Amino acid sequence: MTAESRHPRADEGLRQQLHGIFYDLWRFGSHALVGWRPSRLGIEIITVPKARLFADHGRHLAVFGESGLMAGGALDEAARLLEAQPVELRLERPIGPGPGEIPYALVEQAFQLFTVAKTQHRAVLLMDIVGFSKAAPEQQAAQLTSLEFSLNLAEEMARAHGLGVSFRRTTTGDGFYVWNERSGLRADIDFFCAVAIFQILFAALRRTATDAGAVPALRLCLSIGSHFLYHQPRKDGSDGGAFIVGDVTIQVARLIGTALPEQILVGDFRRPLGLGHGLCDSETFLRAVSERLATLKELRVLGYRIDRVSFYLTGPREADGRHAPVLITITDKHGFEHRCYNAKLNAFAEQGEPYYCGLQHGELASPAPV
């Protein structure tokens, strides 16, 4: 029997066994599993207290990689950097690609729930419901339901149009952090496009809602940056959810605290274009997003085709009629400065009124240009 012909129930049983082993090493979340490799008896694993891992992460960034499998001497090198001793655990069967062996992919799937990964560049959206704390509990529940519905529908529509997105989210109480499970430049562009689809859908929902209080005004902030990602595995083998924290989440949280109702902010970021291609800034990235949106054909909202979508950074009108984006500096409550742009999204349907999302530059309350 080959690895490809394994019975799903057998694989699930193996995954549950591995989950139980890793769960014990995880120690209720106090430790992170850093790396593994097959051994003669079963598997060797490095596990480190999370507090120590975060305290000195700059010295061993390699241990925050997306894969836990460390072949050859990679595990020994990671153990040396972390001053940790690998633990060898006996398994009923060896790990490998052969008949009767435990597939590498199955081990990796179970292992990932107990790791801490760091991503250098990922697009993240923070959305905040305006006036949420003043609403009655029933209205709050209705508002979060409207957001969840719109996010789910936007993700489905984005996938149907060929965008590579898989939304993950965590609640902030009065909104959500949302990010793309996929990473990379194309994934970030596609995520911005999916957020544009969400904004159009939500604007349409607000326009047609019979209960205006159930579809609230929002504040949005988008940016790209680094973050850590970890999971909350449960003892029964399930995943309690993913969480992100890092430079990008701090930035969007600080920025959205100063955003006006219905405003869209885009952080000031630099993102690599790929090997040998340098960096792009927020303005260049938004142009790439607009070009990608222009390729989406037969995008429909309320049954009407969206003919054109314009997603751009705002600024005052210049003599030649163009708008030069204005970089805005915001000082948070801790005295730290954060830079961002005001963004606007306009969608024009084949019939009916256009959807205008965000604020025009002239509607801003005294932006502070750099």
Report the C-alpha gap between 310 and 291 in whole angstroms. 9
3 pLDDT higher than 60: no
Report yes or no: 300 and 306 within 8 Å, Cβ to Cβ: yes
Domain residue ranges of the chain, discontinuous segments joined by +: 3-112, 118-363
User: Percentage of the chain surpassing pLDDT 70?
Assistant: 92
Confidence of residue 1 (pLDDT cuts 50, 70, 90): very low
Strand 218-233 to strand 264-267: parallel, antiparallel, or no bridges (unpaired)?
A: parallel
Report yes or no: 67 and 110 within 8 Å, Cβ to Cβ: no
Of 12 and 123, the structure prediction assigns the larger pLDDT to: 123
Decide: pTM greater than 0.75. Answer: yes
323 pLDDT higher than 80: no
Confidence of residue 52 (pLDDT cuts 50, 70, 90): confident
Residue-wise pLDDT tens digits, 157-193: 999 999 999 999 999 989 999 999 999 999 999 999 9
In sequence order, which residues have a C-beta less than 8 Å from that of residue 113 and are 6 or more positions away? 19, 22, 231, 233, 239
Report the C-alpha gap between 213 and 217 in whole angstroms. 9
Gyration radius of the chain over CA positions: 23
Domain covering 118-363, topology:
Alpha-Beta Plaits (3.30.70)
